[in-house]
Amino acid sequence: KIMDMAIAAGAPLVSLNDGAGARIQEGVTALAGYGGIFRRNTAASGVIPQISVMLGPCAGGAAYSPALTDFVFMVRETSQMFITGPDVVKAVTGEEITQNGLGGADVHAETSGVCHFAYDDEETCLEEVRYLLSLLPGNNRENPPRTECSDPADRRCEALADLVPEDGNRPYDMTKVIEEIVDDGEYLEVHQRWARNIICALARLDGQVVGIIANQPQTLAGVLDIEASEKAARFVQMCDAFSIPLVTLLDVPGFLPGVGQEHGGIIRRGAKLLYAYCNATVPRISLILRKAYGGAYIVMDSQSIGA
């Protein structure tokens, strides 16, 4: 009912999750209940912002609901997500692992990419949920909330001259560049610990919320690989759905070469990012900081695909 009301009212949906999955005794009836939730998650996708906050375990089919939402928050040592628990894993494969080792906050923040934000305690987690909501519109028919800003939009960023090395092979921290150009140096990085060779963040420029996609030269020289392509594609689609303009900061040597990347589907994942940019209807600005080579130049919002 709440999900239906949120969709009808055009209001964001925040789900607080803490459960061990369906009761086996309830059989198909319980599974049908999950199916109704999944269907509504899908119907709400791109219509209203959906945020899942994991405040405990989420096991079995229930774990699919957070995965269908726009953002997943987890708390270390408290939140776990997995389809099959450690006991089942041990019985079937012989592998021994703890709940946190199988599906804890750090696992999903760094390895699987399911978790967008991970925090040490529930209080901090909920504070960041509120901050995220302040950056998002209520629904896809509204614009993101604009705020008054004391940081002049036309201020000079003299520090940028020293932050970006002239030598194209020298790494630097792209987060420092982002801090220089956004309002008051504040931004919210999404998937901060997964696919670190690309940065996705929400920030404000002159009070206007923007989505920032940037290569990170400090990690893998900022190349595009399977995970980076998937991370950026989903972020671009989210921003486009909720009328958030896109700013792309390029410093990319190309796609990561290798048998593992080719066999792992870099063509398919790279195409997802290309499709997301080509399909986006929000204002888009691309800035090449130092270099942009090969197919990665085209894929990362080049002028030829609509920037």
Round to whole Å and give the CA distance between 252 and 196. 13
Whole-Å CA distances, 106 to 89, 99, 120, 227 = 19, 12, 10, 17
Q: Which amino acid is at 124?
A: T
Whole-Å CA distances, 149 to 9, 198, 204 = 30, 28, 9
The catalytic residue among 33, 46, 56, 295 is 295
Question: By the 8 A CB rule, do 180 and 214 touch?
Answer: no
Whole-Å CA distances, 36 to 5, 106, 201 = 14, 30, 32
Round to whole Å and give the CA distance between 253 and 119. 33
Active site residue 60: yes
Active site residue 295: yes
The catalytic residue among 21, 33, 56, 61 is 61
* Residue located via tokens 């940065």: 199
* Number of alpha helices (DSSP H) and beta strands (DSSP E) in the chain: 13, 10
Active site residue 62: no
User: Please, which residues have CB within 8 angstroms of residue 118's CB and are 6 or more apart in sequence?
Assistant: 73, 74, 75, 76, 105, 106, 108, 109, 193
The edge-to-edge listing of strands for the beta sheet with 246-252 is: 187-190, 198-205, 208-215, 246-252, 284-292
Q: Which string of b and e fits 229-243 if b means at least 16 CB within 10 Å?
A: bbbbbbbbbbbbbbb
The catalytic residue among 60, 85, 104, 138 is 60
Active site residue 159: no
Round to whole Å and give the CA distance between 305 and 278. 6
Q: Which amino acid is at 302?
A: S
The catalytic residue among 22, 201, 233, 296 is 296
Active site residues per annotation: 60-61, 295-296
